[in-house]
Amino acid sequence: MNKKVNGPGLALFAGGFLAPFRAISLVRGRKGLKRYFIIPFVINIVLLSALVWFSWTNVYPALASFIPQGDAWYLAILRLIAAPFLFAAVTIFLVLFYSIAGSIITAPFNDPLSARVEELFGGEKHDESLTLRLILGDVTRMASNTARLLIILGAFNVLILLLNLVPVAGGLLYSMLSFASALFFLGFGFFDFPLERRRFVFKSKLGLLWRYRYMTMGVGLAFWVLSLVPLLGFMALNLGTIGATTLFLKHIEPGSGEKSKGGNA
């Protein structure tokens, strides 16, 4: 795994961002991919609709309650300034929880979708049947990886909290790094499918995707944007899976050359 990552970070980030959007035309041009969208699409309609409702009826009012109420002019200005931050916080909550819950629930459907993309574009055929054992294994794996990533994400954000002690620039830098770590978290889940089929352990997955962090974050940002677009939001997880798998075949697999020897440790 010593091969250098080709291309500047910005180009890799742009390639990662565009891949899920390009997946739309790939699906339209290949009937064999459309059938993998049916059940996840229905699941995502229910899940995303429920999360949007919960976010704006429970999360937003809970956050807004911390803002002092009153008729004073300075309180009105404070509420005006806080409004975009509240919107951003609710949006972050919505997308992160949609990614976590959706990835775990739809894993048994998106894994075969990723395998089918590999078959169409990489020539690799995966003949695993969709059994209850396989479904439970996919769900357990996604839950385990998500938990580990959340611990790392949380620890990283705790470490960089001290940046807020630096006036103005510190808060801005903290926000940028926190958002970037969230994008990496979002992108990781989509690359997990092809990596898991090659039996990479979690540590190896993390190390490999860190080398391709700009690409991984690009996919994460695309998922973020797609999740907020009407109708396309219900297919964001599927499109992210297709986009990440095509990127894996083109950029990561040719230079990885390292597989796990110890299962899913």
CA 160/CA 56 separation, integer angstroms: 29
pLDDT for the residue 204:
92
3-state helix, strand, coil in the chain (%, to 5): 80, 0, 20
Residue indicated by tokens 């960089």: 160
pLDDT for the residue 89:
78
Global pTM value: 0.80
pLDDT for the residue 17:
97
pLDDT for the residue 129:
57
CB atoms within 10 A of CB 81: 10
Token duo for residue 247: 């990127």
The single-letter DSSP state of residue 57 is I
pLDDT for the residue 184:
95
pLDDT for the residue 243:
96
pLDDT for the residue 125:
66
Nearest CA to 14 among 204, 247, 189, 263? 247
CA 139/CA 224 separation, integer angstroms: 22
Q: For the chain (length 265 residues), average pLDDT per consecutive 10?
A: 58 95 86 80 88 87 78 76 77 85 82 88 64 69 84 89 81 87 93 89 92 96 91 90 95 67 43
CA 249/CA 12 separation, integer angstroms: 14
CA 261/CA 245 separation, integer angstroms: 22
130: left (phi over 0), alpha (psi -120 to 50) or beta: beta
pLDDT for the residue 217:
97
| Each residue's pLDDT tens digit, 25-54 | 888 877 778 788 888 888 888 998 898 898
pLDDT for the residue 262:
45
pLDDT for the residue 185:
93
Give the list of residues 6+ apart from residue 215 with CB closer than 8 angstroms, or none: 12, 13, 15, 16, 187, 247, 251
